[in-house]
Structure 1
């Protein structure tokens, strides 16, 4: 079975290339934010998928972390889909998401272990915003009991090539 690339698949192609990143992570109440740097290589898996392989400093001088994200578009579900795994976590996150009307912001919903460490799960979002062909941001946020979202990580990616 061969699937022709749709507009959404083509949208993902703008992520291809090599990137540097600078980021900031919320370390909790009464603690300063942790600054981080890293790199990411994004390659295509055919025309339908992108594979993002990143490496960066972990917050709080916890060493280097490696991350792997896959993103595609499911034409049956009419949703972006994908996954995220990191060397610092034993679990994998699975995405489904939507592109905004302006085609600049991709919001990916997922669920995973709560940061409270109490064995419960929490709802999260990773939000990719295209600023220009050579700059994008990614921020991560978690759903709060009041229904609002609390951002805990922001990274700015700049294209190297």
Structure 2
């Protein structure tokens, strides 16, 4: 390549770069009040859960949750527990989709291969978030069915969670309840 071609290429690159700098960046969305609501879930928590299976005595397990905000939009929560004497780890994400006007998220854990995809709403009091999802029915051989996780804010240091499954007759059965206490 001769010196003229190199100089012409350099001038062209400078012109393109200057033009790109002159353009304004697109405006990125800003967190909304629904995203702000998620911040109260962040922190370090001690957990206690009770699981009820039909015809079986209730089982209790203790665990922990570590939750943080990812930017201003997403809550990322990691949990650890020992249900039925087995080590379990979980990862939950929660955010808010301004277009659909719904809370959205995912749940995955080390005890099964299904990724649960949440969609839900906050009640008028601003204290109860109901997340709906679909997953394998462990009472019916893994047939896909509807579930609800209901998260209730008790105060800034306490929250509760209940998980429900829709039975074949359409009724909802609570199979797990849990309490969360913020670590000091």
Q: Structure 2 length as normaliser, TM-score? A: 0.83
Question: Which is greater in Rg?
Answer: 2
What does residue 35 of structure 2 align with? Answer: 9
Pairwise CA RMSD: 1.1
Per the TM alignment, residue 28 of structure 1 is displaced from its structure 2 partner at its CA by 2.5
| Match among 90, 102, 106 for residue 67 of structure 1 | 90
Deviation at 1:27, TM superposition (A): 2.8
Q: CA deviation at 1:117?
A: 4.7
> Displacement, 1:119?
4.2
Pair 1:91 & 2:114 matched:
yes
In the alignment, structure 1 segments of 5+ residues that lack a partner are: none
- Tell me the residue number matched to 2:70: 45
CA distance in 2, matches of 1:119, 1:22: 26
Q: Write the mapping of 1:118-133 to structure 2, written as runs, cut at 5 A.
A: 118-133=141-156
Residue 3 of structure 1 and its aligned partner are, at CA, apart by: 1.4
Aligned-partner SS, 1:89: coil
Change (3 A) 1:22 1:119: closer
More strand by share: 1
User: Does residue 174 of structure 2 align to residue 151 of structure 1?
Assistant: yes
CA deviation vs aligned residue, 1:4-60 (integer Å, no higher than 9, x gap): 11111000000010000011001331x1100100000001110000001000011x2
Count, aligned residues: 158
Which of the pair is proportionally richer in helix?
2
Q: Whose RCO is larger (CA < 8 A, sep 6+)?
A: 1
Deviations 1:81-139 (A, max 9, x none): 00000000111000000000000000000001111353420100011000000000111
Question: What stretches of structure 2 of length at least 5 have no aligned partner?
Answer: 1-26
Is residue 81 of structure 2 the alignment partner of residue 56 of structure 1? Answer: yes
Partner of 2:99, secondary structure, is: coil
